[in-house]
Structure 1
Amino acid sequence: MRLSIGVEFAGAYRSVGAIATKPGIGAVFSYDKEWVEGASCQPLSLSIPIGEAEYPDRVIRPYFEGLLPEEYSRSVVARELGVSSHSYLKILAALGDECIGAVLVSDEGVKGDDESLLPHYTPLDEETFESLAAREYAVSSEIAAESRLSLAGSQSKVGLYRDPVDGSWWVPRGTAPSNCIVKPNSSRFAGIVDNELFCLDVARASGISVPSAYAAPTQAPMLVVERYDRKPCPTDAPIDGHVRFRRLHQEDFCQALGMLGTEKYEESRRGYARNMADALRRYASNPIEGILRLFDLIAFNYIIGNCDAHLKNYSLVRSDDWCELSLAPAYDLVSTAAYPELTTAMGLYVGEKKRLEAVERADFIELGHSMGLSRRAAETRIDVLRDCVVAALEAQAADSADSEIVRAIAYQSKKRIEKLAVV
């Protein structure tokens, strides 16, 4: 198997390299000479730096496997495709036309004028859209397989195109980009759509960068999140009469740090937050701002009780020309603590604490210090964020007073905020 790896760069397709399977060696990745020698050359991932002739599977797997769905979502999609869920390269070859970020993967010798990759959209009728909300994994996996689309993560979700002019829904085909991620309600966790929408609204009102999101007008609840790694460019040539969106490159911190998805939770004190801060310090265009924003986001996840905030839920995003690198907006903000059956072990350690109920103000001061902040700076950030979230919770909870899950999140969050106050 040979996979061609390309990216969208400033609105145009650029070949970056290839993955080849070699007998007795396995999969190896190498950059194209033209990409390496280009004036704007940047690595596909921080874990795959420009330089070596070939990178073995153990080095490239965290990045490329990290583009795929995880856990049950991956097995459902693999079954739809008729391949093993363990064959990450085969799944990537089938789904690589539309991934998170700007990368495009093909096993057909991708070229910019390849007819099989011509971008176009097919309409999504109202009945299918409704069934997506009601049937979760079944319909989302069918759409993903048919449109060769891959979204990382373990949730049921699918990428679609919503026309910004008339609001109609379309399925991306070829290399046409989606501009929204649609998340159906969960049959297992009641009120998950209200939960995530409320947490996103509180984060936005608290000064944390988040994508726009809203509840779709479907009979079964469904969340629509506008993709921050897609940028509308009305001046570019339209696709089938639709406004063209450019892809922005991104990678999550599992990919950036060269870690597999199975390592996304910090099971022992390995310094995940410190390692993320170190990556921002070395590579971000504005390291100080990035580290402060990361600290705020970790604290916010604690406040709302998001124990599923792991390394794959924090990301880096590049500018259109790949010259700037910054912490991506927050996503997958959900209060898992609102569901008593779920663990209270957090995705990351805060100081020496892992359990949500054990964390206190001093632990965040220690966390900030480990990330390179002075203790005074960490205290100031906690105080400012705490005040902002208190105000945001009151305002947003008042707007959703009839939602039981929202009332529970607001009540629990205020209790955790109290633990962040000066003693």
Structure 2
Amino acid sequence: MRTYNVGLEIGGKQIKVGTIEGESSNNAQFKYSEEFLSGSFAHPISISLPLQKEPFSPEATRIFFDGLLPEGFMRRAIAGNMHFDEGDYLSILYNLGKECLGALRVYLDEEDKDISYEPLSAKQVEELASEGATKSTELVIKTHLSLTGASGKVGLYYDDKEDSWYLPVGLAPSTHIVKQSHIRLDGIVTNEQLSMLTASKCGIKIPQSFIINMGKGLDSQVLFATRRYDRTFEGAEEYVDGLKLPHRIHQEDFAQAMGIASFDKYEKEGQNYAQRMFEILRLYAINPLEDQLSLWRRIVFNYVIGNTDSHIKNFSLLYKSDLSGVKLAPAYDVIGTLIYESATREMSFNIGGIRNIDEVTRDSFRTMAGMVGLGEKPAIRVYDEVLEGFESAIREASRELSDIGFENATSIGDRILYSRKRII
């Protein structure tokens, strides 16, 4: 029998919420502890895992906790390096689960107290940019960091006063997620920063992000850094190696909240993921109307910019510090995908019953508004606002990036506009 503890950080302090027990990943079950259920923080760690005394099924357990792990090549590389089967999510999670997205971690009874930060030299950061998945896999394993998604990414600590990067060790929290350029997709880092800035100018809340340029702006010399919205310095007072420790904030993506496995993150016929996302916000959000309109604006924007990779793991819920409520997390992983020949024309979930982005119209969004329970007038008003402001927003964002040395931003902006010329 394998038994792992599940811990949660609340206000900088670790509490045990339950255990995962089983002979293997195939039959392991999560169960809330009696102490947690009777304590002052007795709130679910997931909408898909409501408070109950009984253990959850192996399937429900796997879907939520497997959802904390990397996917695709990164997962295969990590599993191979650790000599685990990539389907053994528990072994991988235990070895990576000291620093997950959100505030959860997985550990044994013997607590690891190690916590420190190792300075990264400019050469090490440059290696991370140039060596691709090999270097990021090495750092992920070294830092026991688990980040979802299929792209090469690591969690680092950034001291903006000194413009210095650090590698978190042990239980040390990171402050930024750093992604590498995708060698098969030219200008992807500039594309993402351009898309994020454009989203912000179209009224969408985003985390702070910037490009780390280790050379002349070439794909092999740049990294994309995003400040973690699930980390906060508010109320933080502890220092390690001269650096203030941020507190972790719990979060989950919509796939986890809906009880959907990572491999099913793209909608199939009849699943209507968007309707379920809006229903969750109506039932659980602290400000349900505000969050529904924010989610709607984000869906419209992904359509307008041509992001066909906006699946349900790219939308998340951020919890209050005491777990008593949720709100829609800031936007992330926003990219104009249609400028790449390899991109699909199928949206990640249907818009008014239509998946092919070339067949989506204003009427599709009018139909979708009714399907997800939004009033037609406010929904179409947001649709019109995004469409009308999009071209000026992306051109302004392109100029801003070009002015600080990323000259390819103009051509990428032009390519995005050309790919969307039918609707703009």
**Aligned partners of 1:284 and 1:326 also within 8 Å:** yes
Q: Tell me how far 1:65 sits from its aligned partner.
A: 0.2
After superposition, give the CA deviation of every residue in 1:59-78 in whole Å (9 maximum; x if it has no partner).
11111000000011110111
Partner of 1:77: 78
* Residue 192 (structure 1) aligns with: 188
Give the structure 2 partner of residue 93 of structure 1: 94
Alignment match, 1:396:
397
CA distance in 2, matches of 1:241, 1:128: 21
C-alpha distance 416-299 of structure 1, shift in aligned 2 (>3 A): farther
Equivalent in the alignment of 1:348: 349
- How far off is 1:411 after superposition? 3.1
1:150 partnered with 2:151: no
Q: How far 1:335 moved relative to its partner? A: 1.1
Aligned residue identity for 1:353: I
For residues 15-47 of structure 1, the C-alpha deviation after alignment (integer angstroms, 9 at most, x for no partner) is 110101148982011111121112232111111
**Could you say if the C-alpha distance between residues 416 and 296 of structure 1 is closer, same or farther in structure 2, counting changes exceeding 3 Å?**
farther
Deviates more, 1:84-93 or 1:234-243: 234-243
Q: Note closer, same or farther for the CA distance 1:78–1:394 as it changes in structure 2 (3 Å cut).
A: same
2:86 partner SS? coil
Would you say the 8 A contact 2:25–2:89 is kept in 1? Answer: no
Q: Distance in 1 between matches of 2:265 and 2:159?
A: 35
Shift of 1:323: 2.5
By how many angstroms is 1:117 displaced? 2.9
Q: Distance in 2 between matches of 1:157 and 1:314?
A: 18
Consecutive unaligned residues of structure 2, counting only runs of 5 or more, are 216-220
State the distance in 1 between where 2:129 and 2:356 align.
33
Q: Displacement of 1:166 after TM fit?
A: 1.3
Q: Which residue identity does 1:405 align to in structure 2?
A: I
* Equivalent pair of 1:6/1:13 in contact (CA under 8 Å): yes
Identify the residue that residue 413 of structure 2 maps to in structure 1: 406
TM (norm. structure 1) is 0.94
Identity of aligned residues (%): 34
Q: Deviations over 1:145-171 (max 9, x none)?
A: 011000000111111111233121111
Runs of 4 or more consecutive aligned structure 1 residues displaced over 6 Å after TM superposition: none
Q: CA RMSD in A?
A: 1.7
Match of 2:199 in 1: 203
Q: Deviations for 1:4-25, whole angstroms, at most 9, x for unmatched residues?
A: 1001101111111010114898
Cα displacement string for residues 238-295 of structure 1 (whole angstroms, at most 9, x for unaligned residues): 1221011111111011100001011100121311000000011111111111111111
Aligned to 1:275: 276
Residues in 2 aligned to 1:33 and 1:309: alpha-carbon distance in whole angstroms = 38
Match of 1:49 in 2: 50
**Contact kept? 2:75, 2:86, Cα under 8 Å:** yes
Kept in 1: contact 2:284–2:325 (CA 8 A): no
State the Cα distance separating 1:417 from its structure 2 match. Answer: 4.0
Whether the 8 Å CA contact 2:115–2:171 is kept in 1: the answer is yes
Take 1:176 and 1:187, find their aligned partners in 2: how far apart are those partners?
Answer: 30
| Alpha-carbon offset, residue 359 of structure 1 | 0.6
Distance of 1:83 and 1:235 partners within structure 2: 37
Q: In structure 1, how many angstroms separate the alpha carbons of the residues matched to 2:210 and 2:14?
A: 32
More deviation, 276-285/229-238: 229-238
Establish whether residue 180 from structure 1 lines up as the match of residue 194 from structure 2: no
> Is residue 2:167 matched to residue 1:171?
yes
Q: Distance in 2 between matches of 1:394 and 1:133?
A: 27
Please name the residue that 2:114 is paired with. 118
Partner of 2:218: none
User: Aligned equivalents of 1:62 and 1:153: distance in 2?
Assistant: 14
* Contact 2:195/2:394 (8 A) holds in 1: no
User: Mean alpha-carbon deviation: is it higher for 65-74 or for 315-324?
Assistant: 315-324
Does the residue aligned with 1:183 lie in a helix, a strand or coil? strand
Post-superposition offset of 1:304: 0.9
SS in 1 for 2:255: helix
Aligned length: 412
**Counterpart AA for 2:60:** V
Residue 324 of structure 2 is matched in structure 1 by: 323
CA contact (8 A) 1:156 1:184 kept: yes
Aligned mates of 2:58, 2:124 — CA distance in 1: 39
Q: CA deviation at 1:82?
A: 1.8
C-alpha distance 167-400 of structure 1, shift in aligned 2 (>3 A): closer
Residue 237 of structure 2 aligns to a residue whose secondary structure is: coil
Does residue 372 (structure 1) correspond to residue 368 (structure 2)? The answer is: no
| 1:121-148 deviation digits (Å, cap 9, x = unpaired) | 1122222211100011100000000110
Question: For residues 26 and 334 of structure 2, what CA distance do their matches in structure 1 show?
Answer: 40
Q: SS of the counterpart of 2:244? A: coil
Aligned to 1:421: none
Task: Identify the match of residue 155 of structure 2 among 155, 159, 173.
Answer: 159
Equivalent position amino acid for 1:55 in 2: F
Q: Partner residue of 1:212?
A: 208
Unaligned runs of 5+ in 1: 419-423
Cα contact 1:62–1:258 (8 A) shared by 2: yes
Aligned counterparts of 1:218 and 1:117: Cα–Cα separation in 2: 34
Alpha-carbon distance in 1 for matches of 2:131, 2:321: 36
In the alignment, is the contact (CA less than 8 A) between 1:194 and 1:406 conserved in 2? no
Q: Deviations over 1:306-360 (max 9, x none)?
A: 1011011111011223233101111000111010222111111001210111111
State the SS of the aligned residue for 1:186. Answer: coil
After TM superposition, give the deviation of residue 379 of structure 1 in Å. Answer: 1.2
2:311 is matched with 310
Deviations 1:84-109 (A, max 9, x none): 11111110010000000000111x21
